[in-house]
Amino acid sequence: MFKVNLQKDTPNTKHQMLSDSARLFDPFGWFAPVIVRAKIMYQQCWLYDLNWHDPLPLCVEELWVEMKQNLSQLEQLRILRWTANYHGRIELHGFSDASEEAYAAVVYLRSVSDINGVHVTLVAARTRVAPVRQISIPRLELNAAELLVKLMKQIAEPLNRFQIEKYAWTDSTIVLQWLSSHPRKWSTYIANRVSSILEILPRRQWGHVPSLQNPADCASRGITPLELVNHSLWWSGPTWLADDSGNWERNVPDEAFDYNTLEICKRFQSLNVSVHRTCTNYGIEKQILDRRSVLCAACRQLAYIKRFIFNLKATKSGQPKRSDCLSPPELHDARLQFARMAQFEVYQNEIDYLLQHSEVFSKSQIAELCPFLDGDGTLRALGRLQQSSYSFEVKHPVILPKAHRFTRLLVEELHLQNCHAGPSLLTATINQRYWIKGC
Residue 106 has φ and ψ, to the nearest 5°, of -140, 140
* Residue 232 and residue 119 share a domain: yes
The least confident of 226-235, 351-360, 413-422 is: 351-360
Contacts with 415 (C-beta within 8 Å, 6 or more apart), sequence order: 421, 426
pLDDT at residue 379 tops 50: yes
Is 278 inside a domain boundary?
no
* Residue 208 and residue 318 share a domain: no
Query: Which string of DSSP letters, residue by residue, matches 44-99?
Result: HHHHTT--TTSBPPHHHHHHHHHHHHHGGGGGG---------BTTEEEEEEEEEE-
* Residue 105 and residue 71 share a domain: no
With contact defined as beta carbons under 8 Å apart, do 31 and 24 qualify? yes
Cα 265 from Cα 188, distance rounded (Å): 8
> For residue 324, what are the CA distances in angstroms to 97, 130, 321?
70, 67, 9
- Give the dihedral of Cα atoms 159, 165, 169, 175; nearest 10 deg: 100
pTM assigned to the model: 0.62
Is 276 inside a domain boundary?
no
* Residue 208 and residue 167 share a domain: yes
Model pLDDT, residue 250: 64
* Residue 105 and residue 39 share a domain: no
Model pLDDT, residue 260: 59
Model pLDDT, residue 215: 95
- CATH code, domain carrying 156: 3.30.420.10
Cα 144 from Cα 211, distance rounded (Å): 14
SS3 421: coil
Cα 210 from Cα 77, distance rounded (Å): 27
- Give the closest residue to 86 by CA, choosing from 121, 124, 108, 117: 117
Average pLDDT over residues 144-150: 96
Burial class (CB in 10 A: 0-12, 13-18, 19+), 419: exposed
SS3 379: strand
> For residue 311, what are the CA distances in angstroms to 52, 300, 305, 316, 319?
84, 16, 10, 9, 9
When divided into structural domains, the chain yields a total of: 3
Cα 197 from Cα 148, distance rounded (Å): 9
pLDDT at residue 386 tops 80: no
Residue 17: pLDDT band with limits 50, 70, 90: confident
Model pLDDT, residue 268: 40
Query: Which string of DSSP letters, residue by residue, matches 128-152?
Result: EEPPSS---HHHHHHHHHHHHHHHH
With contact defined as beta carbons under 8 Å apart, do 216 and 98 qualify? no
* Residue 69 and residue 157 share a domain: no
* Residue 94 and residue 56 share a domain: no
For the stretch 166-193, pLDDT in tens is 999 999 999 999 998 888 888 888 999 9
